[in-house]
Each structure stands twice: as structure tokens, then as C-alpha cells.
């Protein structure tokens, strides 16, 4: 799925790069792991290659998706009437999906709210 040197996004952790694909043995079972170095925290994460599809890790976005994100920022609607607890839950769930458009909606809505009032 991924190759060494690929730039990725790991929801709730941020951007990273696939540094290596290593084979490790745990409990007499050999598995291959992606070794990911996270850009901001410099943390290293190891994820079994067979579990990568469930991890919601995705490649960095292409230009077409970025155009859709810009459209979402400029044209989408925000629900400003939700209580902060409900809004926090919805936003966290959107970020955890790993879908870039849902993450963009969260950023858009928070930016709009910040213009009107101070956020917690």
C-alpha cells in the first residue's frame, strides 16, 4: 500500500513519512511493520502492514482534493447553535474518520466561530 519515503497523514496525529518497512517478531509470530516518523512530534509509530487499512492513514492529498477543500472553506454552512459539548463530539468524530473534507469542515467551522467569539 505504501512505500518508504511516502508522505502520509495519520488522523489525530498529523503528517508523517514512511521511514522503513521492518519485520519484527512478537510471540513467535513475524510481522511486517510500517515505521512512520511523525513530522511535528518526531514520534515514531509502528503499524502492522496488515492493519494499515483499518488505521485510517492516508496519503497526502492531491491538488484536486485541495480545490474541493478550498470550496468547502468558502461555501459550506456551519451550525453555530450546537452546545460546545455536542460540537466537540461531532468535530472529534469527523477528525477521527481521516477524511480530509470532514477535517476541513471542522477547521472552517472553528475559524468562523473564532471570528465571532473567543473559543475555549
Within the chain, all domains assigned CATH 2.40.10.170 are found at 1-59
Residue 77 has a pLDDT of 78
Answer whether 65's CB lies under 8 Å from 100's CB.
yes
Separation between Cα atoms, residue 8 and residue 57, nearest integer Å? 7
Of 114 and 89, the one with more pLDDT:
89
pLDDT score recorded for residue 81:
78
Rounded CA separation 106/87 (Å): 10
Encode pLDDT of 51-87 as tens digits.
Answer: 888 888 888 888 888 888 888 888 877 777 788 889 8
What is the CATH architecture of 1-59? Beta Barrel (2.40)
- Residue 18: which pLDDT band, with cuts at 50, 70 and 90? very high
Amino acid at each position: 500500500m505504501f512505500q518508504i519515503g511516502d508522505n502520509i497523514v495519520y488522523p489525530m496525529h498529523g503528517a508523517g513519512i514512511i521511514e522503513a518497512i521492518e519485520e519484527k517478531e512478537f510471540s513467535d509470530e513475524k510481522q511486517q511493520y510500517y515505521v512512520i516518523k511523525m513530522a511535528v512530534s518526531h514520534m515514531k509509530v509502528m503499524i502492522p502492514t496488515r492493519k494499515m487499512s483499518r488505521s485510517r492513514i492516508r496519503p497526502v492529498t492531491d491538488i484536486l482534493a485541495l480545490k474541493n477543500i478550498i470550496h468547502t472553506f468558502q461555501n459550506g454552512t456551519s451550525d453555530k447553535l450546537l452546545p460546545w459539548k455536542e460540537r466537540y463530539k461531532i468535530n472529534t468524530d469527523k477528525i477521527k474518520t481521516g477524511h480530509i473534507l470532514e477535517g476541513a469542515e471542522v477547521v472552517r467551522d472553528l475559524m468562523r466561530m473564532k471570528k465571532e467569539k473567543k473559543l475555549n
